[in-house]
Amino acid sequence: MSTGSARPVIGVLALQGDVREHVAALWAEGADPRPVRRPEELDGVHGVVVPGGESTTMARLAGRFGLLEPLRDAVRAGLPAYGTCAGMILLADRLLDAPPDQPTIGGLDATVRRNAFGRQVDSFESRVDLAGLDGGALHAVFIRAPWVEEAGPGVEVLGRVVGGPADGRIVAVRQGNVVATSFHPELTGDRRVHALFVDIVRGHLAERAGLDAGDERGLP
């Protein structure tokens, strides 16, 4: 994995969903985004975005294209990952209201409820305060969105719904290099979550570069 690029290479899983919008947001925040459809296209990426879509279809296509296991291995090994909506479902270790055989990439110690906010007609927009982001609340778009039913002890809750029947529901989380949101920031023009993820990728690269330098000097 090369760390010399000024623009970290971030793959966008391009099986379904708002791929073009994620690519545009990542490029604007200083990354070099690349669509990923096949296992060999994961080579050289420094992070990966799993966009929204239909989670069962995306999981099936990822398996068909031979991407599921390489993605699992990469995220387990520390590759930064960001999932939106269906991406949150695919990064979760446990699911509710999903087909019993639906596979996930995993990496997020959380139980995620699929389609928790209802069907397509129940899609809505709201304001969400995200911990660690300056500039006030985000304008959040929820489309057949999940929520985090239960977060593990190592998972930081970044944002919750405020008001309404879903008050207090968790809609944004982070665990180490893995970030997930129930909503779609790529659709609003507010790139702060993408900027956060690019910073996480850069931090991971800097950490890896430090470890590699230590190895070269024979440090423990």
Active site residue 186: yes
What is d(CA 164, CA 120) in angstroms, rounded to the nearest whole number? 18
Active site residue 85: yes
Which H, E and C letters describe 178-200, residue by residue? EEEECCCHHHCCCCHHHHHHHHH
> Which residue of the set 186, 194, 207, 216 is catalytic?
186
DSSP string covering 22-62: HHHHHHHTT-EEEEE-SGGGGTT-SEEEE--S-HHHHHHHH
What is d(CA 203, CA 199) in angstroms, rounded to the nearest whole number? 6
The SS3 call for residue 68 is helix
Residue type (1 letter), 77: A
> Which residue of the set 21, 22, 46, 184 is catalytic?
184
Active site residue 139: no
* Pairing state between β 81-84 and 108-113: unpaired
> Which residue of the set 85, 125, 149, 204 is catalytic?
85
* Pairing state between β 147-151 and 108-113: antiparallel
Q: List active site positions.
A: 85, 184, 186
